[in-house]
Structure formats: C-alpha cells, structure tokens
Amino acid sequence: MKDKTVDVLALAAHPDDVELCAGGTICTLAQQGYTTAVVDFTRGELGSRGTPEQRQEEAKAASHIMGLADRDNLKLPDGNIENTPATRRRLIERIRRYRPDIVLINAPECRHPDHCAASELAKDALYYSGLRKIETTNANGEVQEPWRPHHILHYMQAVPFEPTFVLDVSDVWAQRIEALQAFESQFYNPDYEPDPDEPETYISNPTFFKWVEARARTYGYRIGATYGEPLLYYQGPVGVRDLPQALSIERPFR
C-alpha cells in the first residue's frame, strides 16, 4: 500500500472509542466531502463482552456506516498501552501513511487508564512524526516522508472539559447512533443476544444511550443545535484570517 492522504485521522485506544465520542464528527466530515480514517490502538481484548474477532467485524460495519476511507489497528495490548520508541514508531508509520491535516485523539483525562495512555502516545507520536531523522518505511519498503498535522483535537470521553469547539452533528445523529450500535457486543442493541457468561456492563445497559443523547443535547443546546459534539483544541491558540467568517454562526444566547 502506497502512502495516501486523508483530511482527518482519528486515533483511538479501542475499537468503538471514535464511534462513541466522535462518531457524529466523523459522519459530518464525510457528509461534507472530507476523507477520514481511523487507527485503533488495541483490539479491545479485555472487554467484558464479545471477542476481538467480533470487535473487528463490528468495526468494519461501523466504518462503512460512517463512510471511512480506511481503518487500521496497531494491535497493541489492551490494558497496557505503553508510550515507548517501538509503539511510537508503529504509530508514526500510520501518521506518515495517512498524512492528515487534522487529527482527533483520546481525551486528556478519563476514568479508563487506556484512554489517557493513548492520548499521551498520540501526542508524542504526532510530534516525532515530523522529525526527519526518525526513519520509517511503508508496506512496500519505501522510505516515508516526515509529516506533522496542522491541528490536533481531543474528543470528550467520561470526564467533561470546557470545549474549544462544539460541532453541530444534528443532521447525522441517526447515522452516528447506527454506527455506535454496530458494536452490538459492547453497547445496547435489541438484536444482540449475549452469551450466558457475558455480564451486563455500564455501556451495554439501554440507559447508557440516554446519557449519550443527553450529553449531545446539552452541548448542542449551548450552540443552538439539537445535538453537538465537544472538542478540545490541543496547543492553541487557533489562527484565523477572516474573523467574521470564523464567527459566522450566531450565538443562541447573548
């Protein structure tokens, strides 16, 4: 595979992190004509429900629903995401393959240690990916050119933050929920029959979807939309050339 370019790359500790926390953002970008891809760090093998093989198939289904151009998995150990030269190199290879302008990464703070570890790994790899003296090759053995994205944003997970941006995802809400429910072994799906040894979890309970919707409605309300997804810009400030255009959406509350 030759290195290819996408507009936006989303990085995630587990398959389903993107669908749960930035699914509306990815669907909206695809609808707007931008190319998107996802790199999952682990196969989610420590999950209480389902198997890595199931998660892989679910990720394929969700990718199709969201309109991804590509999806990859680093196959790092679930529950032990380490920020080492070896793991950074594996991620750098993907960053240089996709050469995105914008990258979405895990939240800076979360109840799940993997999410915090993935955030740190992503930030370091995204920086080192721009250094010429770190040499990597693609699948064809060709030397990759250095690449560093222009913008990095955190998507919100369990711990709230004051967002830099809230993206209106109202038009793709049904599509975003369909992508999330493609992970039927993980999230509530009335068509999924768990094995007898699979316990109900916090996220497999149907009330969890009420929380997902409630948070999206809360942030949507703040920008005058039905549903919104919060994003935190990493290492601001954000540069603008046309201030009125950047502020073209009127505030609903003044």
28-41 confidence digits (pLDDT tens): 999 999 999 999 99
Q: Angle at which helices 17-31 and 52-66 pack, to 10 degrees?
A: 20
3-state secondary structure of 72: strand
Q: For residue 87, is pLDDT > 60?
A: yes
Q: For residue 55, is pLDDT > 70?
A: yes
Distances 94 to 148, 176, 235 between C-alpha atoms, Å: 12, 25, 22
Q: What is the mean pLDDT of the chain?
A: 94
pLDDT of residue 190: 81
Q: For residue 137, is pLDDT > 90?
A: yes
Name the pTM for this structure: 0.95
3-state secondary structure of 83: coil
189 pLDDT band, cuts 50/70/90, is: confident
- Name all domains of the chain by residue range, CATH numbers in brackets: 8-246 (3.40.50.10320)
Q: For residue 1, is pLDDT > 70?
A: no
Q: For residue 65, is pLDDT > 70?
A: yes
Task: Give which of 71, 56, 81, 78 is closest to 26, Cα–Cα.
Answer: 71
